[in-house]
Every structure is written in structure tokens, then in C-alpha cells.
Structure 1
Amino acid sequence: MGKLLGIFLIAFALCQVSHSERDWWENGNFYQIYPRSFKDSNGDGIGDLNGILEKLDYVKDIGMDGVWLSPIFQSPMADFGYDISDYTKVQPEYGTTEDLESLIEKAHSLGLHLILDFVPNHTSDEHEWFQRSVANDSYYRDFYIWHDGVINATTGERQPPSNWISQFRYSAWEWNEQRQQYYLHQFGIKQPDLNYRNPNVVEDMKNVLRFWLARGIDGFRIDAVPFLFEADVDPTTGTYPDEPVIADTSSCPDPDDWCHLNHIYTNSLPEIFDIVYQWREVVDQWKLEYDTDTKVLLTEAYTSFENLMRMYGDGVHNGSNIPFNFEMMADLNNQSTASDYDYYVRHWLDNMPEGVYANWVLGNHDNPRLASRFGAQRADLMNIFLQTLPGIAVTYNGEEYGLEDGYVSWEDSVDPQACNADPDTYQKYSRDPERTPFLWDNTKNAGFSTANRTWLPVGQSYESNNVQAQEAAENSHLKIFKKLTGLRKSEPAFSDGDYESVVGDNWLSYRRQAATGDAYYIILNIGNQNVTLNFNELYGYVSGKLEVVASSLQSGLENGQQVDSDSLEAKAYNGYVLRLISEA
């Protein structure tokens, strides 16, 4: 048996409500769809709303409760929908408002809840608000962050008012010739930042939420929350403070790269929380006034752990229902140990406020896919991990069947982060590989589109590995995933059970059991060596037989097969879900 490093018993109690009384989102499974790459219904090479509608039964079949769509609002597509020119219209290449309403209706008929991506930090420079702000319209003049800039004492030339850097590299300030001022853009040049110190901006953005709530939307994933506020102008100097360079520049030597500065004036300012609390009040009031299902907020914030906990609420105000937990996505990799896995579970469970739900996010459209980050051999192990933890699970489309990153050449690159680099370094910045098209079947373009050219190439072999093939196979990544989501819905252990963990030298085991129902034991052998485990020694009270409920595709075990609790061999890179069926 592998060396036992430690035993951790965490009696973590979820909210004290029965499984049947839970709201639709609590303990739920959420699925992120990247619309541009999910399914193309009209052959133009770009995924769309009607394509999603065609495949919504699939989303229901894999066990989802909520479906989050990456941005679909009208946009010039400088950043593929994160540069919005009209928050109340659908981007034409994705469809129409009527198409979206049909999608909402179909989702609700299936018991699914549809969530839109809300991008509040910035608009497109083609948005009417920005155009009016450029023109110095009295209402819109201060909708964005404007400044005259400063005069360089040596050259006499005008330059940006601070050294702030964009997420997409280079200065976060851009000169506007018509207005004769600089505007702030913490992302692309075509994405000017809104000014949340202007109460009219705050109210108009609340009206965007109300507009879509009136059309039946069930919630919003709020983008880039830490960027909503920047330090105000220093009244003594009339300009903005420069941000300090990071202490160790060897980790980010390029002065044009966002990581080169310590963002104390442009990121995670205290004001961001009040805005989130105000948005929560909007959706809660809507539910009460119109007697609807709960409308949820999911917040994206790459920020400190303390800030994430505060995102839930401050004890007086409710905040995000699901402040995305990016700890594992950011800090776990294929070199991580079992202790690392266990640490991040316990860290969240031990520190979150009472009466809220944990959430787990292992992948999204901005990070390499699970099977690429952790190795294809661990694809099932990672989904077993995600689906058997207490709380809410979030899955990025394609990871349910082990989809890996696709190859995208420099010539085919479209991500602005990559395009701002060069042919030698673009892969370091590009998010295109995790956004390549969904693999539905073995027909042209993997069944994603009939077009001769798709917006991104499929980027990988799909003839024998696709959804259709995995559905037809006796066993597959997809079938394992569906087994796991079924357990979450049916077994009290996974909705109400405690988390009790045992950590070995490179394996993690944990027990899930509620007050009623069966006990389940999960094993994740993260390492490259097989280990033999004795559950009675590990937990002190387990004897008898264990039934294999689910296991990695390469485990060699079948569902329903019985194994001895005192001598289970866990193969390298394999995950297992076992049910205790008898006691000696």
C-alpha cells in the first residue's frame, strides 16, 4: 500500500435542507457552451443559437441543470463577443432575439435553465454610448474613463496619464482624436472601460439585466468583476497613480505585458463588491415581484481567496450565488500531488460562509482543456473528482468526453491575445486551442458545420473519437460522465454527504455519506504507480465488499463488479467510485 501521509476528517455539512427541497441551482451541474464552436445550423462555419437548440437534448441527457452561454450580444467581434455594441440585441451571425426566445422555451421545457454572459466592465467602441461619449453628449460624457494625458517634461509630447497596462499587452490608454483625450481600456483597444463611479452607468447596466430577465433568462455569468473599478484621479496631481513593477521581474520581464505590474490601482478594488451586491438585489427582486424560479449570478473573478469569499456576501448583503472557484484550475497541473488536490477541496469548504454552496471549476474557454492540462490518461479521473465533490460542478463543453485542445497555426489564429504576439510566441498567449469546434460525429468538420472553412479549424483527429462514437461504444468517457451526473442527482451521499479524506503519497481517497443512503468511496490515483489500498486500515471501520459504480475507462473494471475492501488495486492515473455493499 502507498505510504500514508495523513488522514483528514472533514465533517462538512451542506445547508440543512433535504435533497427534495433544494432550489434548482443548489448542488447543480452547470455547463458552459461556447456558442461559436458548439454547433453551426446554417453552414457559415460559425456556431449559432439554432445549433445549440438542435443539441439541447444532449445537454439534458448528460445531466445538466444550468446552461451558460458565452457572449451572444451584438458585437464587432474584436474579442469574439466580449466587445458588446448593443446589450439588447443578439449578434446576427448567432441568430435573432426570436431564436434566443425559442432556445429559452426549449430549455425550460427540458427542465434546463439558461444563463447569459454579462460583460459589464467595458463595451465595444462601436456602442452608441461610447460614440455619444466621444461626442461629449451631456448624459454620456462621463460614461467612460477619459483623461487629457500628461506632458512629458523632456520631450514636451503628450503621453498617457499613467503606466497602466492592458490585459492584452501594451498601454491601457488610447488616444481619441475626436475628443482629444485618452480613454481607458483594460482589455482590447476596441473595449473602452465603463465608469462605475457614474450612477447613470450603474442604473443603465441594471436595466440590461432587467431587459433579459423579462425575456425569461435564468441568470447571468458576470465577466471580469475585478476590473470594474480603478483608482480615481489624484486631486493633488490631477492624474492617475502609476502601478509598481512586480518585485521579481524575472517571472515577467516584458514591460509591455500585463503581468509586469502589480495592479493595486486597477484590480480588485473594494468598490467591486457593492456592485455585485446591487446586481444580486436586482435578480432577487425580480424573482419576488414576478414569482419566478430563482435567478442566479455566477461571477468570474481571478482575485484573492479572501475576495472570493467576500463575493458570496458580507453578512448584510447577498452577493454571487456562485463565485467561480478557480483555485484548482489555476494551481493544479499534471505535476500536482494528491495533497494539493485535497488542500484545495478543504481550503474552500473550511472557509466559505455558512448557508452557501461550494463550487468547482476545472476548465473554461480561457484555459487549456482538462485532458491537455492533466494528460489524456487522467481525463476520467478529473471528471470523477469534479462530480463527486460537495456543491456545484461546472463543466466546459467537450470535457465530458475528454476533448483535448486542437492545434491552431499562427495563420489560423484569431484570438487577439495571440495576434498581439508573434509567430514564435503566440502559443503562449493563445486561447484558440481550447475554443476549437465540438466533435459531434465522423462527418465533415466533425459534424460541427457543413462549411468548407470553419471559424477555427477542428484541429484534431475526430473520425473515431467523437460524441456519436462514444455514445455507441460499450464504455467511453462520455458514458462515465453520464453515470457520474446521474449519481449526483439520485444519491444523498453526493448532495448531502460529508467529505472525509485520506491522502497517500500520490493518491487521494474520500468518503461521501449522508445521514441516509449508501456510503461511497472515491479513489484518485494521480501518480504513475499502481497502489493497493485497504479501506479498513484507511478509515478504521470499512470491511466487506465494495461495488464499482464508476471508474476510469482504462481501469479494467466493470460497473457492478465487486471488489474486496481490504485489497483494491488502484491503477496509475485512474479514478474510482465505489459503494459499500456489505459489512463483515
Structure 2
Amino acid sequence: MATSSTKKWWKNAIVYQIYPRSFCDSNGDGIGDIPGIISKLHYLKELGVDVIWLSPVYPSPGYDNGYDISDYKGINPEFGTMEDMEKLISRAKRLGIKIIMDLVINHTSDEHEWFKKALAGDSKYRDYYYFRDGKGRKAPNNWGSFFGGKAWTKTENGDYYLHLFSKKQPDLNWHNPDVYEEITDIMRFWLDKGVAGFRCDVINIIYKESLENGKRRFALTGKEHYLNTEGCHELIQRFNAEVWSKYKTFIVGETVFVTPDDAKLLSDESRKELDAVFFFEHMDVDSRGVKWFKKAYKPCRLIRILDKWQKALEVPANYLENHDQIRSVNHFGNTGKFWEKSAKLLCGLNLCLKGLPFIYEGEEIGMTNGDFRGLRDLKDVESASVNQAMKRLLLVHSIRRRLILRTTRDNARTPVQWDSSEGAGFTTGTPWLKINANKSYINVKDEKEDENSILNFYKKMIEYRKGSHALNEGTYRRVASPSDVYIFTRESDEQRLYIYCKVGS
């Protein structure tokens, strides 16, 4: 049943992201599933998790590993059944763990029933998407796709449809009120089943203000017409007023290209939009505008960026890795001699910052990037698209291989290493993505038995955070320090803590 209560139960929560395909496989088909998640709920409870963010489990052709949804009210048979999902929600609730689901509403799969009807000529469903005639032999505008290439694909009828991501992910037309009714009905469907909220995928680009040509730039030409538009704010406010506020929800948005001022508008409590937002600036600390082209990582940049966001937002959504980013120990640490110390330092940093800490599966044992041999080992659609784009730039294979392997999203999607067996305790079959050979020493079983392990450090840090008024409610202030040492205080009426993090090598 819906409730009008506005209690912010999530304010001091520890959130753990599960990428279902790679978490735990219960039936030996090499793909993680919902029964596998259920089997690990006690592990998550012992870790100290309050909320599970579940990446998409909906039916999907799997072109973008679930972020191309073909049925918002179903469960992908690869992951289980609706009965399994209801059991997960119920059993997690019994342990005091809430579930938030990924909600992808910028686009659907091209295999969604709406898009199939649109292609068949149904005028109602054609208006669910952006179908436009070309300009002569050219696409309707010059916009670029997040995955590289053009943002328009020509249909057999000769017109074009818009897709800011893959051509398998056509964008929804939020100017159409029927789209609003369809999506809010989907939200209520899952909230009535007992989920506690949503992580809203690329939520700040869903409303296209116009389809005019964009200013030409190296990447994402056209974004000024859809990024953080006033129409987007109005939509989110309606979601909040008409759906989310009727339930005890936690809503976090993935928000691309946001500045602190943008993020405040999206998450300030008085505006009644999102509860929190993910920002990306710290993820790009070593990038040259595009994540595939790197520059030297300088700790002072990371410190400056984190400090800026700590000051800007009341409740920052803090994370150091997720399913779209490389492993944090590779990104900000040292995977050689100082692997363990790096992982523990990053744990302490994440759990001591002001705001909500998000932990990604495997992060708590110090999992590292995949040990892929070549591009053929990868399954990520973004990596495949970027490889084609790099070919068009005439980059030779050795350079493409080096650039893509160190940055591919598959680095964070290798199966969780539960033990040192051949299938890493993840599966008894052939895993969908190559398991890292370092499972022999980076795995849950061994780390559980070592009181000084990364896993047990996480448990102690989470327990300490939950008992610390300064970490839960205290203010944040950076202290002057050397360029590679991040020193800040967390202070409440009862407690003052000084946190020292040497984020340089």
C-alpha cells in the first residue's frame, strides 16, 4: 500500500550495487541470477548493507546487458521469475535490507512492443519515439551518440529515429503525455511490489527541448538541446509529486555532465526532485575530455574535485566504482605492492565522506580490472562501438586494444570471486565473461578467514560509521595538506574526527 510518510529512512544507509549477471549463478548456466542473489543475502547483511541497488533484471535482448529493456513489468528468464523477484524483496525485507531497482526511461529496447508497433506504422506508438524525415540524404540533425557515431538510424520506410545510445535503444518522446502515463504506471507496479525506490538511468537527458542542430564539438554534438532542460526538471517534479512522495522511496539519479549547480537543482530537498545524484567529475580526473584518452592521474585533482562536491551538496552520492567504471583500485590506487593498502584506503575514504556511500559488488574484497587478453574477450557494446569509431580515425589495432582494455566497462563486470575454484564460486558452468585469474588470492572465502583482510576492514569500517554521529550527521571541512594527502574533518556536537588519506603513490 502507498503511504504519504516522508521519513528519510535512507539518510544514513549503506548502499550496495549488484550487477546481477556477474554476482552469483545458482543454476550453472554461467549467468548470475536472482536465486543467486537470494543465496548471498546473509553475506550482505553481515557486511552491513542496508540497501541493494539492483541493475536491470527486466526482459531484454541483452544488447547493452539489460539497459535495453523490452518489458518493464517482467523478469528476464536468464535471471529467474517474477516469483523469484518477489521472494528476493520479501527475504531482503526480513533481514532489514531494502531493494531499489534500475529504471531506464530515456530509451527502450528496439524489441519493446511499443517500438515494434511504431515500426509497423501504428500512429499512437510512433509518437512514443522520435521519428523524423531526413534532410536530403542526411539525418534530421547532427547529434552524436554516447556510444560513438550518429544519433539517428534510418528505417526501412526511409525516415529516421533518434537514439542517444545504441541504435538498439530508441529514445522515448517525453513530450507525449501517454509516455508519462505508461512510465508512472510502471513505477507504481514495482513500488506496490515492495521495492523502495529507483536508480534513474541518465535521468537528466530524458527531455529533448528541441531537435535543432547542435554546436559542433569533439563528442556529443547536440547535448545543449537535452542536457538538464527545464522540461526535465518539470517531469521529475511530477514524478515526485504524483508517485514517489506517495511511497517511502529513495530516488537517486545518474546525471551526466552535471556541475555542482546543476546537481543542486536536481537534488535540493526544497525542489522536490531527486533525493541524490551521481556525479562523474572525479571519474574523469585522468581523462582528456573523453574517458578513452588518458592523461596522468594527479592526486591533487581528485582531492580538489571531491572537496568541491562535498561542499556543494547536502547529501552527495559517493562512489569510487560501479558497473560503468573501472575498478577503483586500478583507477586511484596501486594493484601491485600496495594493492591491499590501496583498497583499504579507498574504503576508508568512501565511508568517511559526507553523504551516502555506494559500494559496488567485489569492491569490498579489492577486485581488480579484468585480465582480458584481447578485444575478443569483451562483451561490452560501448567498447565495440568505440572500437569501430577508432577504426574510422585510422588507429591501428595495437593502440585500440591498449586504449579499450584499460577503460572498458567489462573491467567492472567480471564475475564476483567468491572462492578460488575454477568457477570462482560464481558458477559451476562456463562464465558469461572471463573470470580474473587473481581469484586465487582475491576472493570472499579466503578474506573471510583473514582478520586483516580487505573484506574484514570493510565490515569494521561500516560498523564504525553506523555508530559514529560525526560520520552520519557531522559537518565536513577540508584541512590544508600536501598535494597528495586528503585531510578533512567530520564534526558533530559529540565528536570530531580527522581523516587522513594519502591518495598518491
Query: Which of 419, 440, 443 is the matching residue for 2:384?
Result: 419
User: What is aligned with 1:322?
Assistant: 276
User: What is aligned with 1:399?
Assistant: 363
Matched, 1:163 2:134: no
Instruction: Show CA shifts across 1:29-71 (max 9, x none).
Output: 1111110000000000000011011011111111111110111
Secondary structure, in 3 states, of the residue corresponding to 1:89? coil
Secondary structure, in 3 states, of the residue corresponding to 1:455? coil
Larger radius of gyration: 1
Query: Which of 306, 311, 314 is the matching residue for 2:266?
Result: 311
Matched, 1:371 2:325: no
Secondary structure, in 3 states, of the residue corresponding to 1:139? helix
CA RMSD of aligned residues (A): 2.1
Matched, 1:269 2:223: no
Query: Which structure 2 residues correspond to residues 108-127 of structure 1 after superposition, within 5 A?
Result: 108-127=93-112
Query: Which structure 2 residues correspond to residues 6-155 of structure 1 after superposition, within 5 A?
Result: 23-151=8-136
Aligned-partner Cα distance in 1 for 2:242–2:81: 26
> Unaligned 5+ residue runs, structure 2?
1-5, 288-295, 389-396
User: What is aligned with 2:162?
Assistant: 184
More helix by share: 2
Query: Which of 154, 157, 178 is the matching residue for 1:175?
Result: 154
CA contact (8 A) 2:416 2:426 kept: yes
User: What is aligned with 2:198?
Assistant: 220
- TM norm structure 2: 0.88
CA contact (8 A) 1:66 1:115 kept: yes
CA contact (8 A) 2:29 2:431 kept: yes
Aligned-partner Cα distance in 2 for 1:128–1:364: 30
User: What is aligned with 2:464?
Assistant: 487
Query: Which of 447, 452, 455 is the matching residue for 2:425?
Result: 447
> Unaligned 5+ residue runs, structure 1?
1-20, 152-157, 233-239, 247-251, 253-258, 288-293, 529-584
Query: Which structure 2 residues correspond to residues 199-278 of structure 1 after superposition, within 5 A?
Result: 199-232=177-210, 240-246=211-217, 252=218, 259=219, 261=221, 263-278=223-238
User: What is aligned with 2:285?
Assistant: 331
Amino acid at match of 2:299: T
Aligned-partner Cα distance in 2 for 1:54–1:456: 21
Amino acid at match of 1:272: C
Aligned-partner Cα distance in 1 for 2:258–2:220: 18
Aligned-partner Cα distance in 1 for 2:249–2:359: 20
Q: Could you tell me the percent identity over the aligned residues?
A: 35
Greater Cα offset, 427-436 or 102-111: 427-436
Amino acid at match of 2:142: N
Aligned-partner Cα distance in 1 for 2:96–2:201: 25
Aligned length: 470
Deviation at 1:116, TM superposition (A): 0.5
Secondary structure, in 3 states, of the residue corresponding to 1:159? coil
Matched, 1:348 2:305: no
Deviation at 1:430, TM superposition (A): 2.5
User: What is aligned with 2:344?
Assistant: 380
Amino acid at match of 1:103: L
- TM norm structure 1: 0.77
C-alpha spacing 1:107/1:222, structure 2 compared with 1 (3 Å):
same
